[in-house]
Amino acid sequence: GAGVSQSPSNKVTEKGKDVELRCDPISGHTALYWYRQSLGQGLEFLIYFQGNSAPDKSGLPSDRFSAERTGGSVSTLTIQRTQQEDSAVYLCASSYALLETQYFGPGTRLLVL
Amino acid sequence: GNSVTQMEGPVTLSEEAFLTINCTYTATGYPSLFWYVQYPGEGLQLLLKATKADDKGSNKGFEATYRKETTSFHLEKGSVQVSDSAVYFCALSESMYSGGGADGLTFGKGTHLIIQP
């Protein structure tokens, strides 16, 4: 079946602009996760959803970052007033349930000029 | 907090050589341990996992054994191929079950493996 998909695959934006990154999890997966992969920091966990709920937002790097999930499926990660240090690959993963194996999407490569 | 330490490389080997990539971890509870692989131009894929002490995960000729006494989960393969060239990530989850804990995976920095013909 289809895996986790993410869009766009690449995004170039100017400093100060807002961006939205989208994740489509595997059908039937109730848990969804966002990570960031950058040269300096490696792979960082950002936030997870169980259904539409995100119980812990403390992993988000700043208050410019927000995420939502609707209908228990698609999720969007929004970065407001982007900064150059936001440049990274943003990865989404989903799992059948919490505590189950996570499957990753191909990522969105964000470049902030 | 939790952490994972692994050799960053690059690690360069000849085809058919024996591979070891070291991974050690720090965790407060009873983590599940994972190796993920990222082939050039592709997304992260789960390679293998182990959910409790002394478990051995294996896949595609790769093996890793969960060693609680040394807090390690070293990745090994007896004879590597050019197609094994990739970046390998060791990771942990505090889940007591099959993995993917509620607070996300903690990853090592990744080891870039290059296999030469």
Give the tens place of pLDDT for each residue, B13-48. Answer: 999 999 999 999 998 878 889 999 999 888 899 999
| Contact indicator for A47, A31 with CB cutoff of 8 Å | no
Nearest CA in chain A to B104: A45
At residue B82, φ and ψ (nearest 5 deg) are -55, -35
What is the rounded distance in angstroms from the CA atom of residue A23 to the CA atom of residue A95? 13
CA distances from B73 to A103, A113, B12, B25, B47 (A): 21, 39, 21, 8, 13
AA letter at B94: E
Helices (H) and strands (E) in chain A, counts: 0, 10
Would you call B98 and A56 a contact, using CB atoms and an 8 Å cutoff?
no
pLDDT at B97 over 50: no
| Identity of the residue in A56, A95, A105 whose CB atom sits nearest the CB atom of B43 | A105
| A30 HSE (CA, 13 A, CB side) | 9
Provide the mean pLDDT of chain A.
Answer: 92
Chain A touched by B61 (CB under 8 Å): no
Question: B100 and A95 in contact by Cβ < 8 A?
Answer: yes
- Residue B100 confidence (pLDDT) above 70: no
Q: What is the mean pLDDT of residues A2-15?
A: 95
pLDDT at B30: 81
Q: What's the CA gap between A13 and A33, in Å, rounded?
A: 24
- Mean pLDDT over the full length of chain B: 90
Which of A23, A102, A103 to probe by mutation at the B interface, max B CB count within 10 Å?
A: A102
Band (B83; pLDDT cuts 50, 70, 90): very high
Contact assignment for B99 to A102 by CB distance below 8 Å: yes
Give CA separation, A101 vs A10, A16, B66, B117, in Å: 26, 36, 17, 34
pLDDT value at B96 more than 50? no
- B93 in helix, strand or coil? strand
- Is beta strand A65-69 parallel, antiparallel or unpaired with respect to A42-50? unpaired
- Of A33, A10, A22, give the one whose Cα is nearest residue A92: A33
